[in-house]
């Protein structure tokens, strides 16, 4: 029987082995999810809300265990794991509080305003969620909470290295009283995953991951006429304009590059700095990155833990090596330490240009790409010179100017002004171009997999 083995990237020690399900067993989970949906869809939004609040309470009660498990499976700093659990609890509470209003029937007029109509946001059924490893609880929760409120059920395929986290989340939901079938977890290979997308009872597919994986999943879903939401990779640009507060920019950019060990889709990755402030920013930025304390993610003093796996470590090493071969300068870091575990140091690459992975691609680790721009206009041009468009940031003392740039010129889904952050339950989350399509959070995710049903009254 095929098995999945999870490994602690900080110690390279094996954690657990899991048996891979047969296609038949996985299909049984789909059928159970459909059965759960048939009952759940008849409940009102107000009736669903208490279940979400109970899950929030159960998450907080399990915070220490969940955080420790995430750290063991993918190297997340323990304190960041606790923050992630709290965010997930808040997402369930936000959805419970605001979902009934956001999903309420809408009254409209038709036939020239003479007759009434209703737009009802009705659930559609089983939603299949394909999950990455970087936020083992948050990633499934942002889909689960929205779709439970909408009246759907969810089947989760977690990343292999976080199999335990997916199963633990299901256990917590079950203990919180979530009705049977509404959240199922499958442990399967890629072939079975494709068959699940094709399954007649699956009505929607949502996936977070690389753009290459997103293209494949999107094609399989489209071929089977299944709606999909794809939140894919990015190489988010953070612009340091001529009037930027350099001290604030440096502090925030270090945080933005190293958050979650640099393994976040909306991490600050490319730092585009205008010529007027380039030297001052780079000197301070490199100094702070070079001083980052790397070590055991269970230790409260650690600022940077290991990468999630040996595969991820090898990928980062190769991307940096290719960038240097093509002319990038290593301003700090770049040489992994001789130690057990998948540790890669905080690294800054300068002189990054088109044709390098550090310029063109997503480096999913603690590696910053610094790019010099002639002026503010050139910085904006370089920021948009990317196949991606998920997030980004602007540092400027002129907030009005920054907002205008963000609104009218920055070709991404999310922009931060003089700040960094990953996600907020009250704001839409998603991107454009090769970063995918569809939105989560902010009420948008609750409607992605609903049927906007038009009901005409006489």
Q: Report DSSP letters for 15-72, one per residue.
A: EEEEEPPPHHHHHHHHHHHHHHHHHHTTS-HHHHHHHHHHHHHHHHHTHHHHHHHHHH
Total residues found in the chain within this entry: 458
User: Is residue 124 helix, strand or coil?
Assistant: coil
- Quick one: pLDDT at residue 297? 98
Six-digit token string for 245: 């507060």
φ/ψ of residue 13, rounded to 5:
-90, 140
* Max CA distance (Å), the chain: 76
Compute how many other C-beta atoms are within 10 angstroms of the C-beta atom of residue 224. 14
Phi, psi of 128 (to 5 degrees): -95, 120
Compute the distance between CA of residue 158 and CA of residue 165 in angstroms, rounded to an integer: 8
Give me the helices (H) in 112-199, please: 138-150, 163-175, 190-198
Weakly modelled stretches of the chain, pLDDT under 50:
none
Whether residue 422 contacts residue 134, with contact meaning beta carbons closer than 8 Å, is answered with: no
Task: Report the C-alpha gap between 259 and 414 in whole angstroms.
Answer: 17
> Which residues lie closer than 8 Å to 139 by C-beta, 6 or more apart?
131, 132, 208
Residue 204 main-chain phi, psi, to 5 deg: -155, 155
Q: For all residues of the chain together, what is the average pLDDT? A: 97
344-390 pLDDT per residue, tens = 999 999 999 999 999 999 999 999 999 999 999 999 999 999 999 99
In angstroms, the CA 177 to CA 403 distance is 44
- The span from the CA of 385 to the CA of 361, in Å, is 11
Torsion on CA atoms 250, 251, 253, 255, rounded to nearest 10: 160
> Whole-angstrom Cα distance, residue 182 to residue 69?
24
Beta bridge partners of 126: 153, 202
Query: Rounded CA gap, 244 and 401, in Å?
Result: 12
355: three-class secondary structure by DSSP: coil
Confidence at residue 283, expressed as pLDDT on a 0 to 100 scale: 98
pLDDT of residue 71: 98
* Residue 440 near residue 143 (C-beta atoms within 8 A): yes
**5 touches 20 (CB < 8 A):** no
pLDDT 10s digits, 54-106: 999 999 999 999 999 999 999 999 999 999 999 999 999 999 999 999 999 99
What's the rounded Cα separation, in Å, for the pair 374 and 54? 54
Q: What is the DSSP letter of 386?
A: S
The span from the CA of 126 to the CA of 4, in Å, is: 25
Q: Any idea which residues carry the catalytic annotation?
A: 231, 265
Phi first, then psi: give them for residue 130, nearest 5 degrees.
-105, 120
């Amino acid at each position: 029987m095929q098995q999945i083995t999870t490994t602690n990237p900080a110690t390279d020690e094996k954690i657990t082995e899991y048996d891979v399900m047969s296609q038949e067993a996985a299909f049984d989970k789909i059928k159970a999810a459909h059965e759960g949906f048939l009952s759940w869809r008849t409940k009102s939004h107000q009736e669903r809300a208490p279940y979400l609040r109970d899950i929030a309470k159960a998450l907080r009660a399990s915070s220490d265990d969940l955080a420790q498990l995430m750290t063991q499976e993918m190297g997340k700093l323990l304190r960041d794991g606790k923050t992630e659990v709290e965010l997930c609890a808040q997402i369930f509470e936000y959805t419970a509080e605001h979902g009934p209003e956001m999903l309420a029937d809408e009254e409209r007029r038709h036939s020239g305003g003479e007759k009434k109509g209703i737009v009802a946001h009705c659930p559609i059924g089983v939603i299949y969620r394909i999950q990455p490893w970087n936020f083992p609880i948050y990633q499934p929760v942002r889909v689960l909470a929205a779709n439970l409120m909408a009246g759907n059920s969810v089947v989760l395929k977690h990343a292999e290295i976080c199999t335990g986290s997916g199963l633990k989340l299901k256990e917590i939901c079950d203990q919180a009283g979530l009705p049977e079938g509404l959240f199922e977890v499958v442990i399967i290979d890629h072939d079975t995953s494709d068959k699940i997308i094709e399954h007649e009872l699956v009505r929607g597919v949502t996936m977070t991951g690389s753009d290459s994986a997103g293209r494949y999943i999107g094609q399989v879903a489209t071929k089977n006429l299944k709606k999909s939401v794809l939140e894919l990779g990015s190489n988010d640009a953070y612009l340091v304009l001529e009037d930027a507060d350099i001290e604030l920019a440096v502090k925030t950019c270090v945080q933005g590059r190293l958050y979650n060990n640099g393994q976040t889709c909306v991490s600050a990755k490319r730092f585009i700095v205008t010529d007027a402030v380039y030297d001052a920013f780079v000197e301070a930025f490199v100094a702070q990155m070079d001083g980052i304390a790397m070590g055991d993610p269970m230790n409260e003093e650690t600022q940077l833990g290991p990468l999630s796996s040996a595969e991820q470590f090898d990928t980062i090493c190769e991307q940096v090596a290719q960038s240097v071969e093509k002319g990038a300068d290593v301003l700090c870091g770049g040489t992994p330490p001789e130690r057990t575990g998948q540790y890669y140091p905080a690294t800054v690459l300068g002189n990054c240009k088109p044709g390098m992975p550090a310029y063109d691609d997503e480096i999913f680790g603690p590696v910053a790409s610094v790019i010099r721009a002639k002026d503010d206009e050139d910085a904006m041009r370089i920021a948009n010179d990317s196949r991606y468009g998920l997030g980004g940031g602007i540092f400027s003392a002129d907030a009005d100017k920054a907002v205008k740039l963000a609104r009218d010129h920055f070709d991404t889904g999310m922009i931060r002004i003089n700040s960094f952050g990953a996600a907020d339950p009250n704001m839409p989350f998603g991107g454009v171009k090769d970063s995918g399509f569809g939105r989560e959070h902010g009420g948008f995710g609750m409607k992605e997999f609903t049927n906007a049903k038009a009901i005409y009254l006489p």
